[in-house]
Amino acid sequence: MFLRFEIIDTGIGIEKAYLDSVFNDFTQVGEATARHIGGSGLGTTISKQLVELMGGEIGVDSELGHGSTFWFELPFNLVLTPLAEISHDKLLVLTSSTNKEIIKPMLNDWGYLLTSLEKLVIQFLY
């Protein structure tokens, strides 16, 4: 089974003539972009190498003036196992309120209570 991840932006887009070279070493998508945005031209090359090392595929779809969609697909094995036991002495740390809102209904369905300490953590950090 492959999972597809997409990163969509509404930026300047990429000319069709440059799409084949986006993942090449030290390549940027045109002189005007290189001057305006900067960078070494290695980010997409490194991403491609990592994705391919994991047995996946990477690509980009773009239209000049309408943004780009960078995507990669990675193989995952679907393993059917019984539900894991979650003990009551575990701590789940979520990095954003969005993650909390996503996982909270699942934990509730499994009979677990999600306690948020955001205000305490914010007061402690500042």
Per the prediction, the chain carries an average pLDDT of 75
When mean pLDDT is compared across 3-12, 69-78, 106-115, the lowest value belongs to 106-115
Is the Cβ–Cβ distance between 106 and 117 less than 8 Å? no
* Confidence at residue 37, expressed as pLDDT on a 0 to 100 scale: 55
Q: What are residue 9's DSSP bridge partners?
A: 68
CA–CA dist 26, 35 (Å, integer): 14
Average of per-residue pLDDT across 66-74: 91
User: What is the value of pTM for the model shown?
Assistant: 0.55
Q: Each residue of 92-126: pLDDT tens digit?
A: 666 677 877 887 888 778 777 766 665 544 344 43
* Confidence at residue 39, expressed as pLDDT on a 0 to 100 scale: 56
Closest of 124, 123, 115 to residue 93, by C-alpha:
115
When mean pLDDT is compared across 39-43, 77-81, 112-116, the lowest value belongs to 39-43
